[in-house]
């Protein structure tokens, strides 16, 4: 018993509790909340390449995932035949402007997300972690995305 008290004594201290009404506890909590600093909202900041790139990376990843899963589910529940010959036939009947617009809508997010993923992998290796490095790789990703999008659309 003495050994238990010596080891667990500090952990088993008695604490004096004072009962409070729920409204009093809520009042104390509200007073404490008034003293907290409010967290700034991103709308008060000047847009920067670093956080815009992060948001765009998440948006393109989410959008590409929705397209992949949506197309896969549509393929599974399609009532008729849905093979590559039918897709080629459908796309060949579209106007050229619609074909190029569709290619850009698919190619730009794919290129950006892929290239920005390489940027994140370089950060994981400890490269380009300075502000100058982050902006340099950000502009490189934007330039490479533009070139890759044009190359993919021209295929």
Name the residue with tokens 């490269």. 127
Annotated binding site for heme: 113
Total number of residues shown for the chain: 155
Which are the contacts of 64, defined by CB distance < 8 A and separation ≥ 6?
A: 109, 110, 113
Cβ(102)–Cβ(128) below 8 Å: no
Binding residues: 113
């Amino acid at each position: 018993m003495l050994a238990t008290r010596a080891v667990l004594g500090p952990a088993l201290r008695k604490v004096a509790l004072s009962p409070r009404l729920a409204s009093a506890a809520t009042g104390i909590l509200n007073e404490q909340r008034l003293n907290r600093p409010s967290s700034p909202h991103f709308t008060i900041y000047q847009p920067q390449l670093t956080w815009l790139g992060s948001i765009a990376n998440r948006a393109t990843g989410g959008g590409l995932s929705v397209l992949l899963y949506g197309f896969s589910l549509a393929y599974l529940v399609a009532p008729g035949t849905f093979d590559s010959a039918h897709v080629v036939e459908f796309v060949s009947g579209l106007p050229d402007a619609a074909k190029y617009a569709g290619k850009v809508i698919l190619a730009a997010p794919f290129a950006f997300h892929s290239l920005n993923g390489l940027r994140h992998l370089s950060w994981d290796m400890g490269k380009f972690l300075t502000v100058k490095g982050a902006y340099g790789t950000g502009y490189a990703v934007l330039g490479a995305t533009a070139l890759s999008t044009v190359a993919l659309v021209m295929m």
